[in-house]
């Protein structure tokens, strides 16, 4: 009887003994690499591994902007602070506690969707921009989502020639030629967007006035650009891609995350990471 009571005591989340209380900080990485850190932490919390957690990116990370506030997670999402108050151990990604590859390679899209739907809420002003754009540009169309990650991505994955992308998109357009097709293009390369417009004209739509690289330098490493704006536009692109009817994507955390926001989205991958 005593052992049964002890087992119940240990399993009860409100009385957990020996479970960790953790505060997640931000690594120097891109938005969706960090987003995967958050998902991995939430996954462990959801399974009852941790007693309490919080996401606290105070005064650190690529997207930190003193003018916007101390914690960049709060620029884009509602705070995450789960479990009882108390002192928490500070951690970062790729430790014994959090590894973004656990989400990327060891979690189903539906499980990732559950974590997002349960614990993550986009700020209302950003959510409104997403909803308004979808209503304005996607309504009554079959929307092909296209994400092309350029700039420094060649260090992580084989570059995909523009012509190959066009051939794949063209085949999809022909398949749905009677469905009032639109092509939503999300890319960090202005040259790629220009090329797609030259090939498909008015079928192409994209988030207007977004910052895109003209130099080949990754946006989140370029101090010339507003880090807040780069992050905001990346999140908007990610969620809008998740709301398309089919997704064509090159290797990227951003468009991978789109499949987590919509686990039923049909996806065609044009590239994978080196040695993966």
E-strand stretches of the chain: 20-24, 50-55, 81-82, 89-91, 142-148, 181-187, 204-205, 246-249, 266-269
Residue 255: what pLDDT? Answer: 93
Q: Which pLDDT band holds residue 156 (cuts at 50, 70, 90)?
A: low
How many CA within 13 A on the CB side of residue 129?
16
End-to-end CA distance of the chain: 50
Least confident piece of the model among 116-120, 135-139, 272-276: 272-276
How far is Cα 107 from Cα 103, in angstroms, rounded to an integer? Answer: 5
Find out whether 182 and 134 touch, Cβ atoms under 8 Å.
Answer: no
Residue 275: what pLDDT? Answer: 61
Tell me the per-residue pLDDT of 123-142, one tens digit each, with 9 for 90 and over.
999 999 999 999 999 999 99
- Residue range 128-157: average pLDDT? 85
Tell me the per-residue pLDDT of 181-204, one tens digit each, with 9 for 90 and over.
999 999 988 899 999 999 999 999
How far is Cα 3 from Cα 69, in angstroms, rounded to an integer? Answer: 49
Find out whether 9 and 17 touch, Cβ atoms under 8 Å.
Answer: yes
At a CB cut-off of 8 Å and minimum separation 6, what does 4 contact? none
Residue 148: what pLDDT? Answer: 93
In sign, the C-alpha dihedral spanning 262, 266, 270, 273 is positive
How far is Cα 204 from Cα 184, in angstroms, rounded to an integer? Answer: 6
Tell me the per-residue pLDDT of 228-273, one tens digit each, with 9 for 90 and over.
998 999 999 999 999 999 999 998 999 999 999 999 999 999 977 6
How far is Cα 47 from Cα 97, in angstroms, rounded to an integer? Answer: 13
How many CA within 13 A on the CB side of residue 153?
23
Find out whether 260 and 104 touch, Cβ atoms under 8 Å.
Answer: no
How far is Cα 202 from Cα 235, in angstroms, rounded to an integer? Answer: 24
Residue 101: what pLDDT? Answer: 87
0.85 exceeded by pTM = yes
Domains in the chain (CATH in brackets) are: 2-119 (no CATH), 124-269 (3.40.50.11350)
Look at residues 96, 19, 21, 95 and name the one whose alpha carbon lies nearest to residue 56.
Answer: 21
Tell me the per-residue pLDDT of 13-43, one tens digit each, with 9 for 90 and over.
434 445 899 999 999 888 999 999 999 999 9
Residue 140: what pLDDT? Answer: 93
């Amino acid at each position: 009887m005593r052992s049964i009571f002890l087992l119940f005591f240990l399993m009860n989340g409100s009385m957990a003994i020996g479970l960790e209380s953790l505060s997640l900080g931000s690594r120097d990485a891109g938005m969706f690499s960090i987003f995967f850190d958050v998902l991995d932490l939430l996954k462990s919390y959801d399974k009852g591994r941790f007693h309490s957690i919080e996401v606290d990116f105070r005064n650190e990370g690529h997207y930190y902007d003193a003018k916007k506030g101390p914690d960049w997670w709060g620029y884009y999402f509602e705070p995450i602070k789960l479990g009882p108050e108390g002192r928490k151990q500070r951690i970062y990604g790729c430790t014994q506690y959090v590894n973004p590859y656990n989400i990327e390679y060891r979690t189903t899209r539906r499980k990732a969707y559950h974590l997002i739907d349960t614990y993550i809420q986009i700020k209302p002003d950003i959510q409104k921009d997403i909803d308004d754009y979808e209503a304005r540009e996607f309504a009554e169309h079959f929307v092909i989502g296209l994400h092309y990650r350029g700039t420094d991505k060649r260090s992580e994955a084989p570059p995909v020639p523009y012509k190959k992308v066009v051939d794949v998109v063209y085949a999809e357009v022909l398949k749905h030629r009677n469905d009032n097709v639109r092509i939503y293009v999300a890319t960090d390369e202005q040259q790629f967007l220009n090329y797609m417009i030259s090939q498909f004209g008015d079928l192409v739509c994209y988030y207007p006035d977004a910052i895109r690289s003209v130099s080949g330098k990754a946006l989140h490493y370029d101090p010339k650009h507003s880090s807040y704006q780069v992050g905001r536009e990346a999140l908007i692109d990610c969620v809008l891609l998740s709301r398309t009817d089919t997704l064509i994507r090159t290797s990227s955390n951003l468009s991978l995350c789109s499949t987590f926001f919509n686990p039923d989205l049909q996806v065609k991958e044009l590239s994978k990471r080196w040695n993966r």
